[in-house]
Amino acid sequence: MIAAAALGFAFAALVGTADAQPLDRSLGGLLPFDRAETASVRVEAFLEDEGGRRALLVRLTPLGRAKLVADPGIQAVPLPGPRGPWSAVPRVEIVDPDRGYFQNPVELRLPVLAGATGEAAAEVAYAWCGLERICLFGSTTVSVLLSDPSS
């Protein structure tokens, strides 16, 4: 049990920063994984325009046997843009300590400031489990181009 936990922590750094990295490939064949039981998380970003209000939509989709952990949850933090601030909020997070895992997929919306141009980028951090008792932290950066309102 302790060896399995140590193995999980040892590889957390390898897998924690890889977007949609299959768990079986990350562990390098050290554990007996069936190819049909691979697990990963896909993180995507889209610009959403609803009712004249724009937002950076971040969608996390567990693939295979992956599950997104509800506590500590998921967080998206806007990164400074080359043309100034683009987000109306300092961060968005979803946490639900009353359940183990989120239903799929999970979406976060970061409101875009009126008149913002350039690139909207955010650092996304999340916890996920690939197989029972093998849980990792993941993080990735997502970005979309904001259209210039004057063009």
Sheet of 106-111, strand order: 39-50, 53-64, 106-111
Phi, psi of 34 (to 5 degrees): -85, 135
107 touches 61 (CB < 8 A): no
89 touches 149 (CB < 8 A): no
Closest CA to 124 of 49, 65, 59, 35: 59
73 touches 93 (CB < 8 A): yes
pLDDT at 145 over 50: yes
Confidence of residue 16 (pLDDT cuts 50, 70, 90): very low
Model pLDDT, residue 81: 83
pTM for the full predicted model? 0.73
pLDDT at 31 over 60: no
Average pLDDT over residues 66-73: 95
User: What residues form DSSP beta bridges with 75?
Assistant: 93, 125
pLDDT, the chain, mean: 80
78 touches 86 (CB < 8 A): yes
Half-sphere exposure of 124 (CA within 13 A, CB side): 29
Q: Report the alpha-carbon distance of residue 95 to residue 92 in Å, rounded.
A: 10
Q: Report the alpha-carbon distance of residue 130 to residue 136 in Å, rounded.
A: 8
User: What residues form DSSP beta bridges with 79?
Assistant: 121
